[in-house]
Amino acid sequence: MKTLAAALALSMAGASLLPAQEMRDYSVGRQHHGESRLNASLEFVAGTIHVGAGQDDELYRMQLRYDPGRFVPVSRFDAGSGSLQLGIENAGKAGLRVSSRAHLDQVAAVELSPAVLLSLDVDLGAANANLELGGLRLGDLRLISNATQATVSFSRANPIRCSSMTIESGAAGLTLEQLGNSRCGTVRISGGMGQTILDLSGAWGQGSTITVKMTVGALTLRIPRTLGVRVRSDQFLSSFPSKGWANTDGALLSPGYASAREQVDLRLETALGDVNVEWVR
């Protein structure tokens, strides 16, 4: 929570220096009243958004600085279904576009309770995003990132087993840090024209399957030397840096795969993109 507050303060300080810009502050939250799960949907069409774990006794909180001439804050919670919608959306003006740097200097910090089972759906427009999801009881994640730079990290292990993660990235970059700590059984990543960095470190636990589909972007895999990785591809990876890997039954096995305590299956569907491997501890 302190990290989110600091990031929000710095972003707001930068935005306040812009001339002739009238920004508005908005804050909303709800105490935790014994809810067991939260189905959260975050929509942020322009600016910078930080998402992370808050306090156990607070179900959610959002602090927002936004441009009221172009956007409106969104805050809807249904106690019966446990459904939550937060973020900003266009003010309803026909033909509204993000046309200048000033319009991007909106910032939001969203905190979600680590005490509930969380289903998280994030839709980003012309926004930069930093999602630090470590420690949250994440059941599943869906992220659509359009013309954005997005970083999704898991600094702490998920206390529960996550069923699935689906990420669609557009023209800009995507970085996934310590992905193993998500403990997701199925991970699907679609990359466009930008750079995708996939860090496979963390505590995977049971075996997981990762599918990465690239078009013209570049993919960097950061692989711990202690992790066993089996790579498959529809088109065999002529550009894959396979030195030291074993070719078995149409798959590449990382060095030490058979004796690795944790193993993951990685399926690559690449078109024109490059694949690079960096070995990490």
Residue 125: partners with Cβ closer than 8 Å, 6 or more residues away: 44, 45, 46, 98, 146, 147, 148
Structure tokens that stand for 82 in this block: 């446990």
Quote the pLDDT of residue 94: 37
Q: Which two tokens stand for residue 273?
A: 């993109």
Mean pLDDT by 10 residues, the chain (281 residues): 52 45 91 96 93 96 94 95 94 48 76 98 91 97 89 97 94 91 96 88 92 86 96 71 89 94 92 83 82
As a three-state string, the secondary structure of 190-201 is EECCCEEEEECC
- The pLDDT of residue 198 is 96
Residue recorded with tokens 């994640």: 141
For residues 179, 180, 185, 188, the Cα torsion angle rounded to the nearest 10 degrees is 20
pTM of the model: 0.87
pLDDT value of residue 279: 95
The SS3 assignment for 279 reads: strand
**pLDDT at position 235, please?**
60
The CA distance from 181 to 124, in Å, is 23
CB 144 within 8 A of CB 168: yes
Alpha carbon 203 to its chain centroid, in Å, reads: 18
Q: Say if CB 66 and CB 88 are below 8 A apart.
A: yes
